[in-house]
A and B are shown apart, each in its own frame.
Chain A
């Protein structure tokens, strides 16, 4: 029973990270129809920037995270402006290949700067607390809390503000959004900034409880794709729920079925969904 509770807690912690990453991916897909294969690499860069700012420049955890989010958001804007916008009217295959190129580039640059070895970011909240008899590090609780706060803030932004409504309108119908006077180019840049910022936030949150290394982005990209396909490409609630569900499935599957094949869960789920429903589980909507 205690093992089960522990695994559920672990699932929720990992799930917060998965959901944040999947949210960014689903937002850019919804508004631009670009499957950004480099999304997980923005997450990896976010983690590395926070790590470097803390270990070399003496920043505190939250300041490092804020800088990292800002830098990545700007990188997201640059990516949209320089790579994806010029390809918008080309064949979709071209944008996908470009995304793969960006991904190779980001990983290789990280490898040159920080090397292959695993880095550890020390959390200021390393202490262990007891919650209903379960032992858990304070950082995990903070991760759960801040992730939830940010998700709620994002949902409010998307549903209650003009900028958020513009993003949703563009996702529903680009031509229609243009017709009512929405600057869809600006929406695209905003979306990329939010998406990359979310990735940097997730990367900085996860760095203290896992390790930082150049190839950490590839696996999470694939998992985020599994989540987004499961929840519906472009769907925000789908990405939120899907992230937690996948993480719970992994942590329970890893405990009770087979730890060796834990990472396979996501891809088997993905393959099953596509096998029976070739266009994903849900219709697209933000």
Chain B
């Protein structure tokens, strides 16, 4: 199924990728992991949680933990106060990722990341190109696993 999508939507070997902006950079994640995108809304703070955890939001009666992707990527940044929340499924769990701006969905050919940027527990899993811009590809499942208790 993934291959068919790639053929229909982009160059050979590409993955349908949701692209969004966080700070000055463009990031992307596999669209298959994304369930929904909702406008930013204030979250109820979770005391004791790391600063990049914005807290809980009520999503049609389901409590969803929201992470500030900007805060996680660049700890010195001030927390998100607008933009969108990308809801990703991870097994039975749903986690929201606050991003500054939604950009596009495109077929992106992932390339391995150089040694320099690797790390962050495998969340940064590759790079790709959107027109002339370098896109950093995220493995959101790994991110969710790292952050949730």
A and B bound? no
